[in-house]
Amino acid sequence: MKHTLIVLFVLLISSTFVQAQSNKEDVDMIQAMFGKDKKELMSAYMAIPAKDSVKFWKLYDEYEAKRKAISRERIQLLQKYADEYSTLTDAQASQLAIATVNNDNKTNNLYLGYYKKFSEVIGGKSAAKMFQLETYLQTVIRLGILNNIPFIGELDGQRPVGTKS
């Protein structure tokens, strides 16, 4: 019974994320944690000088569109994991692991490319500050998701390494 409930929960969470084409869940999670949407939070944290504001927010919107596309890919991977969890083969697990690493690489490459662009607009220190907040927010969101999905084999009674019975 516990196995069935957890699988249903994972499927529910995953299907909700996949259907969110605008990353509404990111916004909802950030609003629930901080009481503001991401752009408001970024605006309050960054305090962009008026002379740089138009260029910064135009670049930020461009960056967010690309970040959301990569996040949608990650959500699709979560959905695939949920769909295949109970019958996961070595080949499927390998494909998902490689796809997840590739998705992480896309995120890191996006950060690197846009760090350079933001540095040109607001300076290196402010760009680093922005990506520090960005990394924090994305890590909190990922942790929230990861805390709600089972490890491979966990529902079959296998425990992740290092956990106590």
* 92-123 pLDDT tens trace: 999 999 999 999 999 999 999 999 999 999 99
* DSSP 8-state symbol, 37: -
Residue 153 clears pLDDT 80, i.e. is over it: no
Compare 129 and 15 and report the one with higher pLDDT: 129
Q: Quote the pLDDT of residue 19.
A: 39
Owning domain of residue 104:
2-156
Q: Quote the pLDDT of residue 30.
A: 59
Q: Quote the pLDDT of residue 57.
A: 96
Q: Quote the pLDDT of residue 12.
A: 43
Q: Quote the pLDDT of residue 3.
A: 41
Instruction: Decide if 116 is inside a domain.
Output: yes
Total domains present in the chain: 1
Q: Quote the pLDDT of residue 109.
A: 97
- Would the pTM of this model clear 0.85, i.e. be above it? no
Q: How far is CA 137 from CA 3, 20, 46, 115, 163, in A?
A: 31, 18, 14, 16, 27
Q: How far apart are the first and last CA of the chain?
A: 19
Q: Which residues contact 156 (CB under 8 A, 6 or more apart)?
A: 3
Give me the helices (H) in the chain, please.
2-19, 24-34, 38-46, 50-84, 90-122, 124-146
Instruction: Decide if 162 is inside a domain.
Output: no
Instruction: Decide if 139 is inside a domain.
Output: yes
